[in-house]
Structure 1
Amino acid sequence: MRKALCVSVALLASGAANAESEAQWGYSGAKGPENWAELSPDNFACAGKNQAPINLTGFIEAELQPITFDYQKGAEQILNNGHTVQVNYEQGSSIDVDGITFDLKQFHFHAPSENHIDGESYPLEAHLVHASDEGDLAVVAVMFEEDTANEGLKKAWTKMPEQAGEERALPSSVRAEDILPENRDHYRFNGSLTTPPCTEGVRWLVMKQPLTASSEQIERFADVLHEPNNRPLQPVNARPVLQ
């Protein structure tokens, strides 16, 4: 598991934007989600029992400790890896969860949302991906409703790469903080990466308060990817969803 986590962190940080990795999996057809586990021995976890995304429901009341955010300016580049549009972040930003510091590696987007909340799907979801020094992973998820334009997205979208494999430098004004809601109350569950190799043991921290994005912002992202990039919902099985 440790080896898989380390490989996952490397892929998440780099964006895995080479042509070979692009060809290994997709969101439809023979290389779609239902076949990920069979596409490579490395993807065995995609058939696991603790996979993400899920429909968050049946909440269990718990005394969840607040997430301590320490986000700085640090966006380096925005890239289109063929599966999403991703903003890579330089060292220096982190969250603290369970007394562990997780460094922010990158954030990326899915349209429509991968996770659902009480059966509701959202037109856009952001995943802020973090890793600890030990290789453990934590993902902060933020939902977007269609309404007024989002200023944080606007700054990043000005450099939106149109073609798979394309990357562009970003101005320092692009900040992860700008795609976080003011209210940091959250749901929590144990899950996995939502893309191959589907590594499990990921702490999922889903913000309760959604943000807004304009229809133009959502459509521009969807148009660049040419198809939905949401993995279907996975069985919750025996996992608790805490709030």
Structure 2
Amino acid sequence: MRSLRKSRFPVLPLGGLALAAVLAWVPGVALASDAHGEPAQAKGPAKAAPKESGHEAPKPAARGPGKAEVKAEGKAEGKADPHGGGEADLATLRERLNAKLTDTRSRTERAPVLRVANSGGHGAADGHGAAKPAPRRMVAAKPTVAEPAAAANHAAGAAHIHWSYGGEGGPAQWAALKPEFATCGLGARQSPIDIRGGIRVDLEPIRFDYRPSAFSVLDNGHTVQANIAGSNSIEIGGRRYDLLQFHFHRPSEERINGRQYDMVIHLVHKDPEGRLAVVAVMLEQGRAQPAIQMVWNSLPLEKNLENPAPVPLDLNLLLPEDRRYFTYMGSLTTPPCSEGVLWMVMKQPVPVSPEQVGVFARLYPMNARPIQPNAGRLIKESN
């Protein structure tokens, strides 16, 4: 007992030790551990807890007179209390504990709410260390999953829509699909037309210079087309036009006095200056047409694949015996609908078998542009 009283530290009852341990857990008490969990070893008063980023630093607890830290409790001039001082020490500790707990609850209730700054930037810290919210920016709502494709199509207009003969990209929309297609809607001399009221005159005959020639067949996604090799031409009005290709439409695009035929062949020619002349031959159901059958025999198995024919084609087989015709100025019947095209429509149709019409109908049930206004054009007709 004598050696115990001479010790530098007072002996606390079991209840006091437990209470001191509790106080060591409470922030701001001198017996608290340091930031790394080690017991505090500073000889002076406990330092205030560092400020946390974005929150007010906890206020230090009220201090008693003098150096009233827990470490100084029970000491007098560096000597132990001769009477132990147990009850007084416990009362003081209880008061300090109650004050600490009250202050902790108060700070918890007053703790600032953590706010997430806008993506536009970070808020600056105010005088209390709390982050100010960043200025609010108006941000457009992001589109749903289905909207980006719609927005992209709207921005691109109809540039990605390919022209066709029906539905989306049909004839009514051709002029809006591309700037170079504008003539399809704005042109004054568009084709095809219903040929009515032709003026009967002595038209000069078309001089056909067709001969057996090599050819290849192409399904271009709009029609079946035969590309012609060799020298084949027509001469009209003192001009010579070379044959480039011929293709088919079903039903016929042109009409004669309101009559529409089963199909039509367009033989496309061009002169050295680039001007176009088209000879149209109407097809009506009857006996089989040998030249057309040669084209069907060489049909490619895939679109946009050009298939060379094994034998040459005599183009004269595509022409009627009667070479009289109608003529007028018009345009291409497909985009870009270029005008300034000389049209010659043969008055007599050429027969084609129902089976041959059926072959084309399997590929293209309908690929004819609607009739365009005559717009007061002069139409001539052979006597």
**For residues 314 and 201 of structure 2, what CA distance do their matches in structure 1 show?**
31
Equivalent position of 1:141 in the other structure: 280
CA contact (8 A) 1:91 1:103 kept: no
**For residues 295 and 160 of structure 2, what CA distance do their matches in structure 1 show?**
23
What is the correspondence of 1:58-69 to structure 2 with a 5 Å cutoff? 58-69=197-208
Runs ≥4 residues deviating over 6 A:
none
Q: 1:115 to 1:190 in 2, by over 3 A?
A: same
TM-score normalised to the size of structure 2? 0.56
Aligned partner letter, 1:38:
A
**For residues 25 and 61 of structure 1, what CA distance do their matches in structure 2 show?**
37
**For residues 105 and 201 of structure 1, what CA distance do their matches in structure 2 show?**
17
Structure 2, unmatched stretches of 5+, are 1-158
Choose 62-71 or 119-128, whichever is displaced more: 62-71
Q: Which of 351, 354, 358 is 1:212 aligned to? A: 351
After TM superposition, give the deviation of residue 97 of structure 1 in Å.
1.0
SS in 2 for 1:74: coil
What is the correspondence of 1:222-237 to structure 2 with a 5 Å cutoff? 222-225=361-364, 227-237=365-375
CA contact (8 A) 1:27 1:230 kept: yes
After TM superposition, give the deviation of residue 171 of structure 1 in Å.
3.0
CA contact (8 A) 1:187 1:207 kept: yes
Choose 167-176 or 179-188, whichever is displaced more: 167-176
**For residues 71 and 65 of structure 1, what CA distance do their matches in structure 2 show?**
18
C-alpha offsets along residues 107-147 of structure 1, whole Å, 9 cap, x if unaligned? 00000000001100001100000000000000000001111
Q: Which has the higher contact order (CA 8 A, sep 6+)?
A: 1
CA contact (8 A) 1:112 1:122 kept: yes
Q: Which of 221, 228, 234 is 2:360 aligned to? A: 221
**For residues 208 and 164 of structure 1, what CA distance do their matches in structure 2 show?**
33
Equivalent position of 2:246 in the other structure: 107
Q: 1:200 to 1:55 in 2, by over 3 A?
A: same
Equivalent position of 1:25 in the other structure: 163
Q: Which of 234, 257, 268 is 1:129 aligned to? A: 268
Q: 1:220 to 1:163 in 2, by over 3 A?
A: same
C-alpha offsets along residues 208-241 of structure 1, whole Å, 9 cap, x if unaligned? 110110111001011112x300000000011011
TM-score normalised to the size of structure 1? 0.88
Equivalent position of 2:172 in the other structure: 34
The CA RMSD over aligned residues, in Å, is 1.6
Q: Which has the larger radius of gyration?
A: 2
What is the correspondence of 1:1-243 to structure 2 with a 5 Å cutoff? 24-47=162-185, 48-225=187-364, 227-243=365-381
SS in 2 for 1:49: coil
Give aligned pairs, total.
222
Q: 1:43 to 1:67 in 2, by over 3 A?
A: same
CA contact (8 A) 1:77 1:170 kept: yes
Q: 1:163 to 1:71 in 2, by over 3 A?
A: same
SS in 2 for 1:79: strand
Aligned partner letter, 1:123:
D
C-alpha offsets along residues 26-85 of structure 1, whole Å, 9 cap, x if unaligned? 111120011111111111211211000000111111221110111122232100000000
- What is the identity percentage for the equivalent residue pairs of Structure 1 and Structure 2? 44
CA contact (8 A) 2:214 2:230 kept: no
